[in-house]
Chain A
Amino acid sequence: MKLFHESENKYYELLSYLVNEHKAFTDKEIIVCLDQRLGDSHDYDIEDSLFDHDPDKATIFTYENGEYRPVLEGRLPIRTNRIENQAFRSLADSPFARQFLSEKVIEKIRSSAAHIDSEWTPEDIRIKSQSAAGISSDEAVYQETLKTIIAAISSHHAIRYDNVLPGKYEFRDSVIFPVRIEYSFINDILRICAYSEEEDRFIKLNLTSMSNVSIMADTMDNLEDEYKEFLELNTKKVVLDVEPVGHVIERCFRIFSFYDRLARYDRENKKYTLEISYLKSDEAEVIRDILSLGGYVVVTEPRRIQKEVYKRIVQARERYR
């Protein structure tokens, strides 16, 4: 079974879309389609050979009277390949299935995939160092809540909800404009990122403490722009010097790999410098990860974090004296 296969090639996909448009295309229309579907990742040699004006070099389309017409008139049936069939088969067994899919859809997947033999499954992967009691093992089902929130995000509508954690907090009939659903792989938690008009700021809520969620008529058209601005305004930077010890460098660069970062390697002095951009709300987590790397990593900027880390490692050392 080959994952890296030509049937997944981006030009196969592009041609499939074009064939199933069931129409002829001008040169200009082809260029627009190529740009729309491939962005700035073009292979011009391939494109020249796929869309050749020479009638003896026709491929899926043939050029005639200033237009590309499909060589065959029939539609292209869209079918899943072996790898995709295996992925499809495994969808119903994922621990996330009930949080995103209705019982009916899960049942339809099982029924439709009944003839597909299991050739591999993610169930043979054991995930370690992931928080226990997260969403993937939660007995409760949030499918309807998630569905409402996803609909609100795509239409920029507000939602009304209750947010209650017994003994901790209780909010009733609150209103927010949700903008993203954030999933943390390590914490196995779904959080809702949203704009709160009442607090005039973006907030994050745990999905599991939300209830009675309903979509409202109010909309916020510039929500995406506001969120982008919020992310920019709340992005902080920390700079680390990393000792050139193989396993340390690897762990350090991997643990921070999901942040935007800039790295520098000074080959003469065998020194790595890593500048990490993070959201202000993630600062405690960044410091925690820096501490996890021990004496191999030193904060050089900003001074505020440098002092905090220093203070904590001095206290940590005292534990052993």
Chain B
Amino acid sequence: MIRDYENIRRILREIYIYGCFTKDDYIEMGFSGRKVDKEQQRIGVYLPDKFIKKRRINKKVIQYCRYNISDSTNNYLAETYRNKSFTMLDLLSYFYILQILGDGVERTLQEILEEMPFDNADVEFTKDNLRVKLDELLENQFLQTKRDDRNVRYQVADDIWEGFLDEELLELLTYLEFIKNVSPVEMPYYFLQRRLKLYLFSERKIRTDSKSPFQFKHNHIFNSLDNDILIECLSAIRAKYSLIIEKDVGKEAIAALPIKVIHDSTYGRQYLMFYNVGRQMINGVRIDHIKKVKIGEHFTKEEMDLVEVNLNFDDFCWNMSGINEDPQDVIVRFYFDEKKEEFILNRLIREGHNGTISKLKAGVYEYRISLRDPKEIIPWIRSFGERAQVISSGDFEIEKTIEEDWEKAVNKYEALSRI
């Protein structure tokens, strides 16, 4: 079992995304050899054999993951979140309290204590430890309380599924199968779907083991590894609380007023956009670069205004870069056969971030967009190959960068003797 998720997060990300590193490579990256051995061994236990694999190259072991599109609804990385360590007191109190209250009768702490079984010699329930456990179940919303004159009475929380018909719950189950794979914050839906399956089995006597009707493309399942950090950030945004962001060891913590999270669909990067209190400017930080966040204080009126004013600060960012630069106009010409290559125009319309498109003449279109950092658009322009030509980009001169890049690429291919 895993005590602290931070222990496996980075190494699991490296294994999933790269899957090409040996123990020596990890040591060179700053991991301790012992940690690599320990976590790699544990990761092998948490994840199914068909997903996590090992191979040897030059007598060195490499751990990597397999991805199969027809099996793409199974986010095996999410399984690691189901390995949180627990004590016997945690486990017994969860089951015993819920089972005791399962008859629908409200009880006081004392009444619950009197009904607690004492079958395990290693766990003794007392008023004190039971109160702590009841508070935890309350905090986690498994329970609710009612107060009469003197006592707090505990009962099981309301059943959110109660008013739904069986077929409606099955409809929701399919919907969750979809949402848990497409939401930029996957894990809560993953958990909710598992809980609904358990509910259908327990309360409705319905077994649900059918194969998923879906398959997914362009999903970045590795983001689920950072969902705990992401949820802390989203909670602070909603509650309008400041955050203390801790990045890597040795780096100074950042006092932040969180504004929004940005999810880049191409590479699956997620960023927190925030107002940096120390630097008095808008900044962005990659969610996967955050080690820890601490919730700070509620925004003051002045801080609230700062966040409100900067809410759409990223409108001129392709994704997140150049957040403090002034926007520059980028002009790109696209050349294509309008009859045979209509998909190019469709791509411009669908992928162009609302840039303006105008037809110059048959087969030649001009695309314009204002960006804080035109460098961010380079990969997208390159993806059109010979069909795109940057005409201008203000001070950034990305047309020169792309020209040099194509020159470099041609030289590289020509260096391969077979071309």
- Contact yes or no, A128 B318, CB < 8 A: yes
Q: Which one of B88, B187, B217 has the greatest number of beta carbons of chain A within 10 Å?
A: B217
Whether, in the assembled complex, B297 has its beta carbon less than 8 Å from a beta carbon of chain A, the answer is no
Q: Which residues of A contact B189 (CB under 8 A)?
A: 87
Tell me the bound Cα distance from A43 to B1 in angstroms: 8
**Nearest Cβ in chain B — how far from A45, in angstroms?**
9
- Which of chain A's residues has its CB closest to B217's CB? A184
- Contact yes or no, B120 A254, CB < 8 A: no
Q: Which residues of A contact B176 (CB under 8 A)?
A: 91
Q: Which residues of A contact B386 (CB under 8 A)?
A: 312-313, 315-316, 318-319
- Contact yes or no, B389 A186, CB < 8 A: no
- Contact yes or no, A41 B48, CB < 8 A: yes
- Contact yes or no, B195 A80, CB < 8 A: yes
- Known interface pairs A74-B102, A259-B67; A132-B47 also in contact (CB < 8 Å): no
Whether, in the assembled complex, B172 has its beta carbon less than 8 Å from a beta carbon of chain A, the answer is yes
**Nearest Cβ in chain B — how far from A159, in angstroms?**
13
- Contact yes or no, B406 A71, CB < 8 A: no
- Which of B46, B171, B266 lies in contact with A105, CB distance below 8 A? B171
- Contact yes or no, A121 B234, CB < 8 A: yes
- Contact yes or no, A251 B379, CB < 8 A: yes
- Contact yes or no, A57 B121, CB < 8 A: yes
The count of residues in chain B whose C-beta lies closer than 8 Å to any C-beta of chain A is 157
User: Which residues of chain B (379-419) have a CB below 8 Å from chain A?
Assistant: 379-380, 382-386, 388-389, 399, 402-403, 405-413, 416, 418-419
Whether, in the assembled complex, B219 has its beta carbon less than 8 Å from a beta carbon of chain A, the answer is yes
Q: Which residues of A contact B211 (CB under 8 A)?
A: 154, 224
- Contact yes or no, A56 B379, CB < 8 A: no
- Of B33-41, B146-154, B159-167, B322-330, the one touching chain A: B159-167
Q: Which residues of B contact A265 (CB under 8 A)?
A: 18, 20-21, 25
Whether, in the assembled complex, B81 has its beta carbon less than 8 Å from a beta carbon of chain A, the answer is yes
B56-100 to A contact mask, C-beta < 8 Å, 1/0: 010000001011111010000001011111101011101110111
Tell me the bound Cα distance from A187 to B279 in angstroms: 37
- Contact yes or no, A181 B70, CB < 8 A: no
Q: Which residues of B contact A272 (CB under 8 A)?
A: 20
- Known interface pairs A121-B238, A127-B263; A292-B379 also in contact (CB < 8 Å): yes
**Nearest Cβ in chain B — how far from A68, in angstroms?**
12
Q: Which residues of B contact A91 (CB under 8 A)?
A: 172, 175-176, 179
Q: Which residues of B contact A315 (CB under 8 A)?
A: 385-386
Tell me the bound Cα distance from A118 to B202 in angstroms: 28
- Which of B49, B218, B353 lies in contact with A184, CB distance below 8 A? B218
A sample of 8 more A-B contacts (CB under 8 A), given A56-B121, A96-B178, A260-B67, is A3-B188, A76-B98, A102-B168, A108-B163, A185-B219, A249-B18, A310-B413, A319-B389
Q: List 7 A-B contacts (CB under 8 A).
A: A16-B202, A77-B101, A80-B160, A88-B192, A125-B234, A129-B264, A261-B19
